[in-house]
Each structure stands twice: as C-alpha cells, then as structure tokens.
Amino acid sequence: MTTADTGIELSERLQWMNRLIEGWSIYKKNLLGKIGIILLVLFALMALCSFIPPLLDPMYQPMAGVDPEISTATGPSTRHWLGTDFMGRDILSQLLTGARIAFMVGVSAAFMSVFLGTAIGMIAGYVGKFMDTLLMRLADMIMVMPALLVLLMLAALFGQLSIWFIVFFIALFRWPGVSRVIRAQTLSLKHRPFIEAAKVAGASNLRIIFRHIMPNVLPLSFLYMTFQVTSAIIIEAALAFLGFGDPGTVSWGMMLQWVWKTGHMFRAPYWLLPPGICISLITLSFYMLGRAMDEVLDPRLRKEGETD
Amino acid sequence: MELWRYISRRLFQIVVIFFVILTVLFLLFRLAPGDPVSRMVDPNLTPEDAALLIQEFGLDQPIWMQYLYYLKNFFTGHFGFSFHYGQPVVQIIGDRLPNTIMLFTTSIILSALVGIFLGKIASWNKGKKMDTSLTLGALVTHTLFLPWLALILIWVFAYKMGWFPITGMISDEVWIDPEIGLWTKGLDILHHMVLPLATLFLIHFGSYLLIMRSSMLDTLKEDYILTGRAKGLPEKVIRNHHAAPNAALPVVTSVGLSLAFSINGGALTETVFTWPGIGRELVFSVSHNDYPLAQASFLLIAIVVLLSNLVVDILYAYLDPRIRY
Amino acid sequence: MALLVVDNLSVGYQGQKGYLQALEGISFSLEAGKSLGFVGESGCGKTTLGMAVMRLMPSNGFIRNGRIIFDGEDLLEKTDEEMRRIRWQKIAMIFQSAMNALNPVHRVCNQIVEAIVTHSPLIDKKEAYEQVRDLFQLVGLPENRIRDYPHQYSGGMKQRAIIAMALACNPQLIIADEPTTALDVIVQDQILDEIKNIQTELNISVIYISHDISIVADVCHHIGVMYAGQLVEYGAREEVFNNPMHPYTRALLSSYPTLTGEKSHLMPIPGEAPNLINPPSGCRFSDRCAEARETCRRNHSVWLELAPTHKVLCHQCGKNCGQ
C-alpha cells in the first residue's frame, strides 16, 4: 500500500465516521423516519417470533399444522388469535412466518440488486466510453420490462419457481435503477482531486474504483436498498398472489392467494385483512425509512434553517 | 425539425429493444426444460394435425431456420392456436387488447391529472392541514398492496353495498339483448370499470402527487417566478400559468419511468376483477400451460409498454420547448 | 418634486441564526428622468434595496422602518392589490440575463404580452402583440425572433428582451439589478448604451444596481456607495468619482484599473464585511479602514454634508481625509 493510499484512506475513514454521526442526528429529528423504524422493529420482532408457535404445539405449523378439532376457516379465538384458514391452520403463525419471508426476500433481493447495480454503475461511470454505453443500453432495456410479467413467463417455462430463483430474478430486474444513480455519482467523483492523486500514485483502475470511489457511493447505495426492499417484497407478494410463488413458503402474498382462491374473501375478514395490512405497512415503513435517509444524504432536502 | 429526429431515434430504439425481447423469448422457449415442440403444438392434437402445425412453424428445422420462421410468423400474425380456447391466438389477443387499452390508458391519465392537480394544491398549502392530509393520503394509498386493495374494494362496494358488479367487463344480459342501445351498453361497461379503475387510480396517483408537490416547491423558487411577481401578476396566475407547467414536467418523466410498474398493476387488476384484457389472459394462459397464448400475450404487452414509453416521450418533448427546438 | 424619496429605510431577514439587518437607515431621493446608481460589494444590501422598493421581499424579509414615497404616496402603506397594480406599470425591474428571469416554457412574446395585458385589461391581444414588435425594434432585437423561446436566445438577446419587457407598460421608474454582469464586455457596452438611450429618449428614471463602479459612473447622474447595509457616500457622479471622500469609496476606486494615467498598484481591501446579524455599534467599515480611530469604532457614524449634493457617512471626513 502506497503512502498516498494510506493517507487518503485515513482521511476518508474519518470523513465517513463524521458523516455517520452527523447523519444520525439529522435522522433522529425526522418524524417519518422514527415511525418507520418503530414499525420495522415490530415486523422484525414478528419475524423472530415466527419460530415460537410451532414450538409450542405442532398444530401451529403454518403449512402443515393440523388442529385436531378445527378443519375449516374459523374466526379469532383463544386457541387461534387470528383464527384459522380453510384447512384449519393457524393464521397468526402464518402471518409471523410471512414477516420472516418478507424480510428474507426483501433484504436478499435488495442486497443483490444494489450490489450488482453499484458495481455496474461504478464501472460504467468510471471506465466510460463503450463499456458505459453498452451497460446503460442494457439497463434501459431491462428497465422497460415489467418484472412481474417476465417472472410469469419464466414460471410458465420452468414450472414452479423456488423462492431463491424468485429473489435472484427480482435482483436481476432491479439493478438498472440503482446503477443509473451510482453511475451519475461516479461521474461527478471521477474528476475530484483525491482520485487524481490516487491515479498519480499509480493505483490501478480496479483499485481506484473499489478503494476510493466505492466508499463515497455506498451511502447512496444504502439509501436505494430501502426502496429496493419494498419493490422486492411487492413483486414476490404479487407473484405468490397469482399462484406462482414458491409453494413451500408461506408468504403474505400466498396467504392472500388462499383467501381469494378458496372463495373466503367475503366471509373471512380476519383472514383477508392481516396479510394485506402487513404488506402495505411494511412497504410504508421502508418508504418512510428511505425518505428520512434521503434527507440525511441530500442536504437540500433538509428543512430550511437547519443548515450551517 | 428536431422533434421528428427525436421521435425517429426513439422509435428506432424501441424497435431494437423489441427485437431483443423477441429473440430472448425465442431462445427461452427453446432452452427451457421439456420438449419445445409441445410448446407450440397442443399435445392433445391428432398426429396429422400436429404434423401440419409442425410444418407451418418449422419446428423440425434447425434452430436458425426456426428463428426465421418465428420472425416471419410474428409479422404475419401467426401465433398458433390456443390450447385452451382452440382458436387462433391472434384472434383472442386482438379481442382483449382494446379492453386493456381502455382500462390502462384511462387509469394512467386520470391518476396523472389528479396527482398533478392535488400535488399543486398541496404545495400551495405547504405545512397546513390540507397539505399534511394530502401528503399522508398519498403516502398511504401508494403503499397499499394492489391485489389486496382490489379485494377490499370488491368486498365493500360490490359485495356488501351491491353498488358495482363483482367481476367482468359487461353484464351478459345487457349485451345479448339486441334491443338495448349502444349508449346503454357503453354505460354498462363504465359501470363495470369503476372499481378496477378506482383500484389502479388509488395506487398510482399518490406518487404523482408527491412528485408534483416537491417539484412545485422547487419551481416556486425559480427566478422567473420572481419576474412574474415583479410584473404584478396575481398569485393564481403565477402558480397555474408559470409554475405548474414547469413543475409538471418531472411528473411526466415519472409516468414514463413507472410504466413497467403500472402494467404489472394493470395485469393484477384485470386478474382480480376478471376484466378480459391481455394482462389477465397472460396470467390465465400461464396457469393453464397454454404456451402459444402466453407467448403472444407477453409480446403484445411488451409492445404496449414500449409504445406507451414512446407516447410519454413524445408528450414530454411537446411540453418542454427546450427539447422541441 | 422628486419621483422617489426613500426615508430612513431599514430592512432585514429573519433567519435560523437570528435577524439579519440587511439595510439600515437608507435615505435618498430621485428626480424624474434622472438615474441613480448603487454600488457595493456582494452582501452590501443593494439588491435588497431594489426588492424593497418594489416590495418583493421574500416571506422571511421584513421592512422594519422608514418610508418609500413614490409619486407622492408611501408604498409601504399600500395594500397587496394596490402594490400589484403599481408593479411594472409604474415601477419595473430589469434582472440579470444569467438568471432564469424568463419562463422557459412560454414564448418570449407571450411573456411580454402578458405584462401588457395584465395592466391594460381592455387591450386587444393583437394590439399588445404590435406593441411587442415596437419594443423589439426599440431594443434592437430582430423581429423574426419574437416567437422564440428563451433558451434560443443568447445572453445579450435575453438581456434586451428583459429590457423590452420592463418597458412594456411605460413605467416611470426602472430598477436595473446588475443587468450586464453576466455578459461579455462588448455586449455589456451595447446594453449600457441601450439603457442610456432609453433613459434619455423616454425620460424614465433609473436606479442602477451594480458592484462595478465604473459602469455606474458611466450611466448614472448620481452615485450611492453602499457598505454593510448602509449608504456610506452619496453624490453626483463627478463628485463621487473625482473626489471620493469615504475611505471605502476610495478603496473601491483604487481597486479598479484605469486605461489612462499612471500605472499604479491595484489595492484590494483587506478583511471581510461585518456580520450583519450582530453589526458593530460603531462605523461598520472601521475594522477595514486605514484611517480608523477610536471614535469610529465606538460611535455611530453621522452624515457629513460636504457639498449640497455630496454627503458622506464618516467621522473622519471633512476633518482629516482628502482636502
């Protein structure tokens, strides 16, 4: 590691920490952000608690639970706090499992798409020319396609899709949005003095991209992750709703599919309402989180008078 | 003129993208597990009929020949026969297309216009109750899960209140009767369209509202707004005539960018409401392994999305003179 | 009687950090048909002055004190509606061409027609359009560009269009805020000539705001030098330019190169302008002034009349500085 590198690294790291601290103090003041975080913590708790009911009694298994006494849809009771579905399975444990699946799908797909999008965006922005045009044309093409419908076609061709296949493809469809933003950021960073310094010190392109540009675009990537999580959750839920989800996973979308397909939507509000409310609320909370973070990252969005 | 050059460039891009999609689909159909022939030819056909079809689609030829057959068939409208309906696919999707266009276009135009209008109002009243309630409303409706919202609307307004029909686009009794005039039949469609339209509208107008609101707040800081005030223009004129047209431009861009998302929503809405459009046909054909129909539906949807993108681009160019001249 | 009399005007902005006193105790008068230039560095309040006269303050701006008497009436007593009618019709403004002063989505002619029609509602649109053509001729813009959009104009053309628009309602007073700042020198010269011609031909009063004293001296009958929200020297152009009294004016003049005369070193003014949220109690220029004394720092400056038309806000002048 050259001296230029170390010097740059140290100052960058300090800058990073400063920004993190400053960011948190701004974030704290935002009401939406606070509500968002509270809701997300609640959902996370739900996800964690999903393991509890089956341990209490096997009849609480979300997929395979068989209640010896109930085998139809029933309303909330002391045994089943949210009632049972058409096969007598406990709705609450399905709901809790759904939270776990939502986080899993959302975070994995978001992480993958942001990873891809950041890498591609940085490369396109930094290397430029042919590579840039090629990658951005590819991004344009992918952005035009409706992810849900393409996944449907894939379901038609490849049969039942597994949950990881779904996650992977969602990421494949969502990276273009991220890459555009990262590319723009990279373009503006490309000509900054510290990059010039690294070039003069002899750093290779790859090194510059990953050592110097990446730390500066990561906050933006992180911000976009929140938006990506919501779209991933929605796509998976819609897919499951239509009946093309992974039949082995109980997601909220899957629950809605069951209510709908078994004709219970008019007579079982205890079954119809919770999954939909959960999907909508988790989307809302990630969105609020994202907006609050947006304010942290973009000084122009802060309330007037808070600047100094 | 600049505008024509711009349009032709976009048209060319769209054609290229469509060809890529066409080719990728072709490859997918051939590469997916299972016998590609069974994808085009209904396994239930007699061997003679099957042989005829195979010849027509060149399914026994080498792959590059098949590709040429594929392209030729696409441009002559030969999409095969639907396994499920037994009719030529092109006829089916031809029937469905107008229904989708009707619902989809109306919903986008309505949500964009209302979103712009309410966003404008929200920005005027920034910080006050009107603004907070509009913003909150937009935030909440726009994060609702579309199929769920659809089910709730059906449950409340169709099932419980009985104000609207639960499914479909038309009431058979109305349409079969030759005595009933076109006007009444049209009203019947509208009656069926209310709930699906409401669903699509509620989900989409929120994001346009939020964008318009922040765009207006930015625009009101521009120098030409100061000029307007200096000219002694009434505040209303400044907002509506000077600020709003500029502020609406990012919303138009946003409509274009979210077209893919909107069409997903369209397909979901059609499915829940059993609205006979291409989106629903796609879902239906996939669940019934009706490959020719699925393929054609998908391609048609792709065309719809691409052309919508073009329309939005042209609209933007028309609205922003900096692009036109 | 003077067309415009500003009496002891104080204006400020309410910010997060406190109340910023942008203008304090500004007094001057302007006769009909004459031009007055305000010169000063960025932040001295000259733009605020222009905005205040037209009562175009932003929502966090306040006119605290004083009177602005235009054509015999105090503008500060006017209602919003009355003010709206006065704007452009009686007092118009010329903005910098670099600013986005023209709306990008409307044609230039329509924006000028709008100004005309707003203040003469009975006028026919066709007639208003004819007036626009006359205006274009007046400012030297080609007629075939009337229906263009602002982005199709060059900087100089935009400036002319802005001037044409300001003249549309035949105002009595025009406030020109840095109209030539973003233009190259040749175009700058043309525009200045344009403004001078218009002023003499149409007998319009002009308030010219600039950071460039040489331009102001070229165009204006009277010059007001501003510093840190205060008017520090005021007089006829010859008086101020040839016999500057206030140390700041002198420093300002010596920081400009001249084409004629001896070559001398350019003297920048050391230090920074004071913080206007907590302005110093004494003379605001004292910490940058070469001739400052204790009295300067402690006491408020007072006006010293050196000649009937030449006054200076300084403790020292008249006694020690100059002659």
* Interface touch B17/A144, C-beta < 8 Å: yes
Chain A residue nearest residue B296, CA to CA: A153
pLDDT of residue A303: 47
Contact call for residues A47 and A99 (beta carbons, < 8 A): yes
Q: What residues does C13 pair with on adjacent strands? A: C20, C61
Contact call for residues B206 and B142 (beta carbons, < 8 A): yes
The band of A304, judged by pLDDT with boundaries at 50, 70 and 90, is very low
User: Mean pLDDT, to the nearest integer, of A59-79?
Assistant: 81
* Interface touch A306/C15, C-beta < 8 Å: no
Using a CB-CB cut-off of 8 Å, the residues of chain A touching B17 are 140-141, 144
Contact call for residues C160 and C140 (beta carbons, < 8 A): yes
pLDDT of residue C251: 83
Give the least confident one: A96-100, B179-183, C247-251, C286-290.
C286-290
State the sign of the Cα–Cα–Cα–Cα dihedral B315, B319, B323, B324. positive
* Interface touch B230/C93, C-beta < 8 Å: yes
Size of interface B-C (CB pairs under 8 A): 68
Closest CA to C197 of C252, C148, C251, C137: C137
pLDDT of residue B1: 62
User: Mean pLDDT, to the nearest integer, of A248-253?
Assistant: 92
Shortest CA gap C258–chain B (Å): 35
List of residues 6+ apart from C35 with CB closer than 8 A: C199, C205, C206, C207, C208, C219, C220, C221, C222
The band of A59, judged by pLDDT with boundaries at 50, 70 and 90, is confident
Distances (CA, A) of A155 to A152, A159, A254, B282, B292: 5, 5, 16, 12, 15
C-interface mutation test, from B1, B124, B224, B235, most C Cβ less than 10 A away: B224
The larger pLDDT score, comparing residue C315 to residue C74, is at C74
pLDDT of residue A134: 92
pLDDT of residue A52: 87
User: Mean pLDDT, to the nearest integer, of C28-40?
Assistant: 92
Question: Is the pLDDT at A3 greater than 60, yes or no?
Answer: no
Question: Is the pLDDT at A4 greater than 70, yes or no?
Answer: no
Question: Is the pLDDT at C128 greater than 60, yes or no?
Answer: yes
% of chain A residues with pLDDT over 90? 39
User: Mean pLDDT, to the nearest integer, of B4-9?
Assistant: 86
User: Mean pLDDT, to the nearest integer, of B95-111?
Assistant: 95
User: Mean pLDDT, to the nearest integer, of C110-121?
Assistant: 94
Question: Is the pLDDT at B87 greater than 50, yes or no?
Answer: yes
Closest CA to A180 of A115, A118, A228: A118
Pairing of strands C61-70, C73-74: antiparallel
Using a CB-CB cut-off of 8 Å, the residues of chain C touching B226 are 56, 95, 101
Using a CB-CB cut-off of 8 Å, the residues of chain C touching B232 are 84-89, 115, 118-119
pLDDT tens digits along B236-262:
999 999 999 999 999 999 999 899 999
Give the least confident one: A86-100, B60-74, C107-121.
B60-74
Please report, for chain A, the start and end positions of each structural domain, with discontinuous segments joined by +: 30-51+92-298
Chain B residue nearest residue C87, CA to CA: B232
* Interface touch A283/B267, C-beta < 8 Å: no
Taking the Cβ of residue B258 and every Cβ of chain A, the question of whether any pair is shorter than 8 Å is answered with no
The band of A28, judged by pLDDT with boundaries at 50, 70 and 90, is low
What is the strand order of the sheet C61-70 is part of?
Answer: C18-30, C4-15, C61-70, C73-74
pLDDT of residue B78: 82
ipTM of the predicted assembly exceeds 0.95: no
Shortest CA gap A235–chain B (Å): 9
Question: Is the pLDDT at A307 greater than 50, yes or no?
Answer: no
* Interface touch B223/C101, C-beta < 8 Å: yes
Question: Is the pLDDT at A101 greater than 50, yes or no?
Answer: yes
Question: Is the pLDDT at A1 greater than 60, yes or no?
Answer: no
Using a CB-CB cut-off of 8 Å, the residues of chain C touching A306 are 16
Angle, nearest 10°, between helix axes B259-273 and A147-158?
60
Using a CB-CB cut-off of 8 Å, the residues of chain C touching B322 are 104, 149, 151
Shortest CA gap C20–chain A (Å): 13
User: Mean pLDDT, to the nearest integer, of B212-223?
Assistant: 93
Cβ within 8 Å of A, B 92-131: none
Using a CB-CB cut-off of 8 Å, the residues of chain A touching C61 are none
User: Mean pLDDT, to the nearest integer, of B76-82?
Assistant: 83
Amino acid at A134: L
Amino acid at A306: E
Chain B residue nearest residue A300, CA to CA: B218
Average pLDDT, chain B: 89
pLDDT of residue C322: 46
Using a CB-CB cut-off of 8 Å, the residues of chain A touching C15 are 305
pLDDT of residue B323: 83
pLDDT of residue C287: 77
**Dmax (CA) of chain B:** 83
Shortest CA gap C48–chain A (Å): 20
pLDDT of residue C319: 57
* Interface touch B325/C151, C-beta < 8 Å: yes
Contact call for residues B281 and B90 (beta carbons, < 8 A): no
Chain A residue nearest residue B279, CA to CA: A149
Question: Is the pLDDT at A299 greater than 80, yes or no?
Answer: no
Superfamily of domain A30-51+92-298, CATH level 4: MetI-like (1.10.3720.10)
Question: Is the pLDDT at B81 greater than 50, yes or no?
Answer: yes
* Interface touch B321/C149, C-beta < 8 Å: yes
Taking the Cβ of residue B268 and every Cβ of chain A, the question of whether any pair is shorter than 8 Å is answered with yes
List of residues 6+ apart from A305 with CB closer than 8 A: C15, C16
Chain B residue nearest residue A242, CA to CA: B283
The tokens for C82 are 């009355």
Q: What are phi and psi of C18, to 5 degrees?
A: 145, -170
The band of C275, judged by pLDDT with boundaries at 50, 70 and 90, is confident
* Interface touch B139/A155, C-beta < 8 Å: no
Shortest CA gap C21–chain A (Å): 17
Judge residue B1's burial from the number of C-beta atoms within 10 Å of its C-beta, 0-12 exposed, 13-18 middle, 19 or more buried.
exposed
pLDDT of residue C82: 93
pLDDT of residue C311: 84
The tokens for B9 are 């460039």
pLDDT tens digits along B270-296:
999 999 999 999 999 999 888 889 999
pTM attached to this predicted model: 0.88
User: Mean pLDDT, to the nearest integer, of A282-303?
Assistant: 77
pLDDT of residue B66: 82
The larger pLDDT score, comparing residue A140 to residue C283, is at A140
Taking the Cβ of residue C118 and every Cβ of chain B, the question of whether any pair is shorter than 8 Å is answered with yes
- Listed in order, strand segments (DSSP E) in chain B are none
The larger pLDDT score, comparing residue A23 to residue A199, is at A199
The tokens for B151 are 């089910």
Shortest CA gap B170–chain A (Å): 22
Contact call for residues B93 and B281 (beta carbons, < 8 A): yes
Average pLDDT, chain A: 85
pLDDT of residue A9: 63
Question: Is the pLDDT at A221 greater than 90, yes or no?
Answer: no
Using a CB-CB cut-off of 8 Å, the residues of chain B touching A290 are none
- d(CA B164, CA B166) in angstroms, rounded, equals 6
Distances (CA, A) of C73 to A84, A235, B12, C76, C174: 80, 67, 65, 9, 17
B138-141: long-range contacts, CB 8 A cutoff, minimum separation 24: B138/B205, B138/B206, B138/B207, B138/B209, B138/B210, B139/A284, B139/A287, B139/A288, B139/B206, B139/B210, B140/A280, B140/A284, B140/B206, B141/B202, B141/B203, B141/B205, B141/B206
% of chain B residues with pLDDT over 90? 58
Taking the Cβ of residue C60 and every Cβ of chain B, the question of whether any pair is shorter than 8 Å is answered with no
Distances (CA, A) of B50 to B68, B74, B210, B240, C87: 20, 20, 55, 64, 83
- Listed in order, strand segments (DSSP E) in chain C are 4-15, 18-30, 35-39, 61-70, 73-74, 91-94, 173-177, 205-210, 222-227, 230-236, 303-307, 310-313
Question: Is the pLDDT at B89 greater than 50, yes or no?
Answer: yes
Q: Which DSSP category does A209 fall into?
A: I
* Interface touch A157/B309, C-beta < 8 Å: no
pLDDT of residue A301: 54
The band of C243, judged by pLDDT with boundaries at 50, 70 and 90, is confident
pLDDT tens digits along C172-200:
999 999 988 888 888 888 888 888 888 88
Chain A residue nearest residue B302, CA to CA: A145
List of residues 6+ apart from C125 with CB closer than 8 A: C113, C117
pLDDT of residue A43: 95
Shortest CA gap A262–chain B (Å): 13
**For residue C57, how far is the Cα from the chain centroid?**
15
User: Mean pLDDT, to the nearest integer, of C298-317?
Assistant: 80
The larger pLDDT score, comparing residue A277 to residue B76, is at A277
* 3-class secondary structure, C179: coil
Question: Is the pLDDT at A305 greater than 50, yes or no?
Answer: no
Contact call for residues B155 and B222 (beta carbons, < 8 A): no
Residue whose pair of structure tokens reads 């696919």 in the numeric block: B89
pLDDT of residue A306: 35
Residue of C84, C101, C105 lying closest to B232 (CB–CB)? C84
